[in-house]
Homo-oligomer: A and B are copies of this chain.
Amino acid sequence: MKEISNLLGYRESIRVVDATLRDGGLVNDFYFTDEFAKKLYLTNLKAGVDYMEVGYKASKEIFDIEKFGKWKFCDDDAIFDVLGEGKEGLKLAAMADVGRCDYKTDIRPASESPLSMIRVATYVNTIPGAVEMIEDAKKKGYEVTCNIMAVSNAQESDIKVALDMIGQSSVDVIYIVDSFGSLYPEQIARIAALYGEFAAKYNKALGIHTHNNQQLALANTIEAVGDDVDWLDATYYGMGRGAGNCSMENLLGFLRNPKYNIFPALQFVQNYMVPLRESGTVWGYDMQYLMTGLLNQHPRTAIEYTKQGRRDFVEFYKEIVAQD
């Protein structure tokens, strides 16, 4: 039994990251109103959340700026207009995908940006590109995380090589990412132990980002806390791609550090997240996501099923079981 996550105490090194605009943006093409973003920012401040991930630094060559809201691109000036400086109390972060970000031009020095942190997202097979982006961001003065996606589909020997390369970089935090929502807490424990070896060797912190395909997003996050993972991603009302993420209100209810406060989170969910869902924006646990999670598949088929308004999940299951 884990003593480290003693339920009555807490660990000072825990950091909570709100990823609502970023992972939630994948659901509504990043079309959040400025009022929503501002109120989210103020909610995070009151709730004691440590970082707010505001979106992607996506390439405007690859993605059409007419087809996405501003949080897909996170221009410094656009962030500044809506959220202001953001460097006191609540720090701002943006995600940059390997191969889908013109980081050399689009990421300015940190001293000229409201952002404090760049989160480099990579698959196991694009680590050299990730390392180049990590060093670029670090040189520009940012805190940097590296989020290794789809870990449930990677070979352990490949992950070890990747962790060794990332460990030697100047990254601050290495993230475990259960992109498909297919992992069980016991697997999180084993993965955290593996990541932990490299984190200890290279003096890095660890983070976790979960999906709720099997209703295990909170459970896997809690498991990780007990395994010495400090950086915890969550989104309000669990808003995120497909089955969504660990919900902020669940996570704040679990954490015992008195700096965290669930009440502003409840207010934000009532006043902004429930209306957003009722306006027709769809995310969260459902049968089609359970199925792709169980089969350790990318949720894209389930997202398409959802978009089409299909209800015949038994047929859907037959379809995805037949895929190979």
Contact = CB atoms under 8 A, between A and B. Distances in A.
Interface of A: 1-2, 5, 7, 184-187, 189-190, 193, 212, 214-219, 222-223, 226, 247, 249-250, 253-254, 262-263, 266-267, 269-270, 274, 287, 290-291, 294, 311-314, 317
Given A2-B189, A214-B250, A266-B317, 4 more contacts: A186-B222, A215-B247, A249-B287, A253-B290
Closest 6 CB pairs of A and B: A219-B219, A253-B294, A1-B189, A270-B314, A266-B314, A215-B215
Contacts of A185: 185, 219, 222-223
Given A186-B5, A223-B185, A266 B287 contact: yes
Kindly report how many copies of this chain are found in the complex they form together: 2
Contacts of A294: 253, 262
Given A218-B216, A253-B294, A269-B287, A7 B187 contact: yes
A158 to B, nearest CB: 20
Contacts of A312: 270
A190 B1 contact: yes
B186 A1 contact: yes
Contact of A218 (B186, B214, B250, B313): B214
Contacts of A313: 266, 269-270
A110 B25 CA distance: 58
A184 B222 contact: yes
B215 A217 contact: yes
Interface centre among A186, A217, A266, A313 (most CB of B within 10 A): A186
A312 B266 CA distance: 10
